[in-house]
Amino acid sequence: MKAMENKVRFYNTLTKKEELFVPNVDGKVSMYTCGPTVYHFAHIGNLRTYICEDIMEKTLRYVGYDVKRVMNITDVGHLSSDADTGEDKMLKGAKREHKTVMEIAKFYTDAFFSDCAKLNIKTPDVVEPATNCIPEFIKMISGLIDKGYAYLAGGNVYFDTSKLKEYYVLSNHSEEELLVGVRDDVEEDSNKRNKSDFVLWFTKSKFEDQELKWESPWGVGYPGWHIECSCISLKHLGEFMDIHCGGVDNIFPHHTNEIAQSESYLGHKWCNYWFHVHHLNDKTGKMSKSKGDFLTVSLLESKGYNPLVYRLFCLQSHYRKPLEFSYENLDNVASAYDKLVNRIASLNKDGEVDKEEFAAYREKFEAALCDDFNTSMAITVLYDMLKAEINDATKFALAESFDQVLSLKLTTAVADQKESIDEELSAFVESKIAERAQAKKEKDFAKADAIRAELLEKGIVLKDTREGTVWSKA
């Protein structure tokens, strides 16, 4: 069989340059995404990262790869500082809402996927909560101890970073700078042999009110956050992985620690490409759950925004640049979105697709995406195509094709909107008919007539038949 042409290029955090993507196995991609910590709603910053990862996955599929994507759900072990200090985030959520940790995890996992659905983010092929994988964590930690990469101190198990030739493989910064970055609430753990060592399994520290804990060879306790992604990716994607994704804040310490654990355990290079999305900021800086004051998809909806307008807002900027959120910009995108989907809805899709034009525009669209996922350029190709001298059927077919990646409901939004307006209208009229029937039963004919008149004013005509009242638009 002919080998697949590799044409996707993107910036690899590991090599710190843009590279041609070449998977381990021809035509197949294994991809791992750090999932949400489910102690609160995802904010639209988190969702920017998931939107950009969705674009990556869909681009890879669009150009012909067979992608297997895995995501974890962090429902244990993520402490409020990424460097193993502070309170467990899940426990914090449970206390805040007077619920159990598992209730909190279920509620916010469902909320996360509901937000993803609204943003047209595809659910990964495998989604695995950390609490499902305790035996796998114990196996990897035991292996690390056996190989001399981990040690027991004060009841906890730590990874010994001094055993590595190079620990800071993903970042350019100095050790001191990085350590300060993650420890605003510096609380030195005297059990650690080296400042950069991190916890694989907790027993003693932060143990007292921990709700979820498991038996282990080192005592009853719970896993550290970093070990979960190493184990879950190994479980589902094997020893050699193509792409690992996350937000830039995951580079250190989370992804740095994942590489340390996985490569020490496996004894070889683990993941070839690292993809990181820059942050969504508000006026005060990075949007974060811990700040408390953050924006959610539901909040945008309650203000009247279609969630896909936020998706388009994200696609108009490059994932490797920080993005500042403002309602003013979102309003501009909302009106551009309406114009765009109405323009496409006005196309006459009957007719023959011009195969040559279709192929030419598809190639331009692919080229934009293959150039480090340049989504704003891909959208420019869409606008250029809509303005071009080609027939409507070809334009419509191209819009449908581009939407496999953009996922903005380009060809269906207007019809969906009409349908939902019709549904709303129908529910309203039915409730008025029921109210009128009740008024008639109570011999309140004045009220019954008033309801008929009110509906007529809205363009709805009622007709009483033997089977009941039916309605139509005037």
Comparison of 74 and 272: residue with beta carbon closer to ligand AMP: 74
CB under 5 to 8 A by kind: which of Zn ion, ligand AMP, none does 287 bind? ligand AMP
Nearest CA to 416 among 304, 340, 318, 341? 341
Q: How many residues does the chain have?
A: 474
286 binds ligand AMP (CB under 6 A): yes
Residues 20-59 interacting with ligand AMP (rule: CB under 6 A) = 34, 36-37, 45-46, 48-49
- Cite the DSSP H helix spans in 63-146: 89-97, 101-118, 134-146
CB under 5 to 8 A by kind: which of ligand AMP, Zn ion, none does 229 bind? Zn ion
Residues 60-79 interacting with ligand AMP (rule: CB under 6 A) = 74
237 binds Zn ion (CB under 5 A): no
Instruction: Give the CA angle between residues 415, 416, 418 to the nearest 5°.
Output: 65
Region of residue 373 (left: phi > 0; alpha: psi -120 to 50; beta: else): left
Nearest CA to 222 among 95, 72, 74? 74
88 binds ligand AMP (CB under 6 A): no
* CA-based R_g, the chain, Å: 27
Among residues 104, 130, 243, 280, the one that binds ligand AMP under rule CB under 6 A? 280
> Closest separation between CB of residue 91 and ligand AMP, Å?
15
CB under 5 to 8 A by kind: which of ligand AMP, Zn ion, none does 247 bind? ligand AMP
Stretch that binds ligand AMP, among 121-129, 192-200, 283-291, 453-461 (CB under 6 A): 283-291
The secondary structure of 289-315 as a DSSP string is GGGS----HHHHHHTT--HHHHHHHHH
92 binds ligand AMP (CB under 6 A): no
List the structure tokens of 306.
Answer: 């279609």
> Closest separation between CB of residue 296 and ligand AMP, Å?
13
Among residues 75, 228, 249, 372, the one that binds ligand AMP under rule CB under 6 A? 249
Among residues 86, 224, 246, 253, the one that binds ligand AMP under rule CB under 6 A? 246
Stretch that binds Zn ion, among 141-149, 222-230, 401-409, 440-448 (CB under 5 A): 222-230
Please count the CA atoms within 13 angstroms of the CA of 313 that sit on its side-chain side.
28
Rounded to whole angstroms, the Cα distance separating 382 from 334 reads 17
Stretch that binds Zn ion, among 34-42, 170-178, 276-284, 395-403 (CB under 5 A): 34-42
> Closest separation between CB of residue 335 and ligand AMP, Å?
25
Stretch that binds ligand AMP, among 9-17, 281-289, 363-371, 381-389 (CB under 6 A): 281-289
Q: Do 263 and 271 touch, CB atoms closer than 8 A?
A: no
Rounded to whole angstroms, the Cα distance separating 419 from 413 reads 10
Residues near 88 by beta carbon (within 8 Å), at least 6 away in sequence: 76, 77, 78, 79, 80, 206, 210
Task: Specify burial of residue 7 (Cβ count, 10 A radius: 0-12, 13-18, 19+).
Answer: middle
Stretch that binds Zn ion, among 30-38, 154-162, 274-282, 290-298 (CB under 5 A): 30-38
Total of residues contacting Zn ion (CB under 5 A): 2
Site of interaction with Zn ion (CB under 5 A) = 34, 229
